Amino acid sequence: MSRHFVAELGELKSTIIRMGSMAEQAIAESIRALLERDPELARRVIDEDESINRYEVIVDDQVVDLLALQQPVAVDLRFILAAQKINNDLERIGDHAVNIAESALQYSGRPPLTRPGEIPEMAGISKTMLREAIDAFIHSNTALAREVLRTDDEIDNLNRRTVEGMAELIRTDTQIIYQALDLIRVSRNLERVADLATNIAEEVIFMAEAHNVKHNVERREPQQGPT
């Protein structure tokens, strides 16, 4: 393997790590903009999505170059394919941060709800999932990646509770319809962020073990003892 190829793989990895930090920050800031009712911060998140989008195009180009010029096989090929997919996942996470920031902008112009449902808890869990998925990628840590897969159900439950809680709030006070719809939208976006963190974790396992764990193949294995 040429030194040039090793350097290029390292560069691809660095770009993904940089994108990962940007996506993490975008989600954290969009939630802060919502909870602290900070429209300035919300606008900044929306503006900064351009940078994540630019990185996506850079990674796409790096992937095409690496595949065309180096014709990698085995673990290097799997790394490059995983990087391409993670790239796509991170760009989508950036889009969800924009959606949350847009909801934060609207929400900050309305009288706030006394309780924002399970949003703070969901935000905490999905940020942790994203951080761990990226750490798993950086260190090829499949144990950590599997930890992320296990957390996804929690987020689905919290999302369901948020939607039900908001529906109850609207029932008792129709004045807060729009605020409640804002928070339902944020809740669904956080659920999608958690899904995408799960995708990243699946890619890390594929990359490290040449083993596809999509669609719960592992998690659905019957828990039978010998019969």
Return residues touching its own copies (CB under 8 A): 50, 53-54, 56-57, 60-61, 63-64, 67-68, 71, 73-74, 77-78, 81, 84-85, 88, 163, 167, 170-171, 174, 177-178, 181, 184-185, 188, 212, 214-215
Contacts of 79 (CB under 8 A, 6+ apart): 9, 13, 207
Output 6 or 57, the one with its CB closest to its own copies. 57
What does the block give as tokens for 94? Answer: 């950036």
What does the block give as tokens for 95? Answer: 């889009």
- The rounded distance, in Å, linking the Cα atoms of 122 and 67 is 38
Least distance from C-beta 181 to its own copies, angstroms? Answer: 6
Output 87 or 126, the one with its CB closest to its own copies. 87
Least distance from C-beta 108 to its own copies, angstroms? Answer: 18
Output 11 or 156, the one with its CB closest to its own copies. 156
Output 81 or 131, the one with its CB closest to its own copies. 81
Least distance from C-beta 217 to its own copies, angstroms? Answer: 8
- The rounded distance, in Å, linking the Cα atoms of 16 and 212 is 21
Q: Please give the DSSP secondary-structure letter assigned to residue 215.
A: G
What does the block give as tokens for 155? Answer: 């987020």
Least distance from C-beta 151 to its own copies, angstroms? Answer: 19
- Alpha helices (runs of H) in 109-225, residue ranges in sequence order: 119-139, 142-172, 177-209
Least distance from C-beta 78 to its own copies, angstroms? Answer: 7
- The rounded distance, in Å, linking the Cα atoms of 187 and 122 is 7
Q: Are 94 and 49 in contact (CB under 8 A)?
A: yes
